[in-house]
Structure 1
Amino acid sequence: MTYQLIDRYLEESLFDPIRGHLGTICCVAYSPDGTYIVSGSGDSIIRSWDAKTGNPFGEPLRGNTNIVTSIAFSPNGEHIASSSYGDTIRLWDVKTQQPIGQPLAGHGSLVSAIAFFPDGKRIVSGSYD
């Protein structure tokens, strides 16, 4: 599966389509400083990419148990939150590329959307429950 980065003013792709996931890409997010792009997919993996070149960055983040449905960077860019087709949310440390603690539970159905509050201390999520 692929995705492209397109310059909305020039209306052209900035590099060739990015390949790497085995499943459908369900979500992408830019780091706050514009350095990285992360993508989540049906293969339950989060991948990181250099936003200028499209080259892979670091190791894939593994730990979601199902399709990654939503992904977001914290405002300071130090953490990533991901939601999955199950009913959980997972936090990741960008530097170590490791999960932070156990998955967060609370929804009774698919978590479809996730975002950090501007202060970076809280997360809001949406679900089908």
Structure 2
Amino acid sequence: MAITAGDSLWDLAVGTPAAGPLSGHEGPVRVIAFSPDGRRIASGGADATVRLWDPVAASRTGRPLTGRTGPVRCVASSPDGQLVASAGDDATVRFWSPAAGRPLGEPLTGHDGPVTGVSFAPKGGLLSTAGTDRTVRLWPTPSV
């Protein structure tokens, strides 16, 4: 079994790094999340980018996902793996197509401060977000 710790993939059976490190962010990595099938990792950083990784090959996939104007605080993959959501200090929520490596639609606005959490509904269709404005919001997810 392997897990991520810091910026490396670790093999728990022998207690050594299994792959990595996965590097490329131009500042601290703030958040990381596996896709439901385990075939992709999304990371968000202080450099305002989301990056996608192949944990088996220990390599980055595609170009950095750009367009945010502040550090990324949270990322999540949809249950079917077709979407990645990110949010952060710019008080917006963005949806991304990992397959196409591009944003889907315009940024969602509504929070009055940094967005600190994103979570997809178990069957998809909705995304919940939490912010420093002390609110939880629900958003419909785009079609891919």
Q: Report TM bin, short chain.
A: over 0.9
* Identical aligned residues as a percent: 34
Q: Which residue of 2 aligns with 1:117?
A: 121
Moved over 6 A (4+): none
Offset, 1:7: 3.5
Query: Letter of the aligned partner of 2:40 in structure 1?
Result: Y
> Does the CA contact (< 8 Å) of 2:116 and 2:131 recur in 1?
yes
Q: Which residue of 2 aligns with 1:45?
A: 49
Q: How is 1:17-32 mapped onto 2 (pairs within 5 angstroms)? A: 17-32=21-36
Q: Which residue of 1 aligns with 2:72?
A: 68
Selected match of 1:5 from 3, 6, 9: 9
Q: Which residue of 2 aligns with 1:85?
A: 89
- CA RMSD after TM alignment: 1.3
Highest CA radius of gyration, 1 or 2?
2
Offset, 1:84: 1.5
Structure 1 unaligned regions, length at least 5? none
Structure 2 unaligned regions, length at least 5? 1-5, 134-144
Post-superposition Cα deviations, 1:21-57, rounded to whole Å, max 9, x if no partner, equal 0111001111111111111101111111111121111
TM-score, normalisation: structure 2: 0.83
TM-score, normalisation: structure 1: 0.92
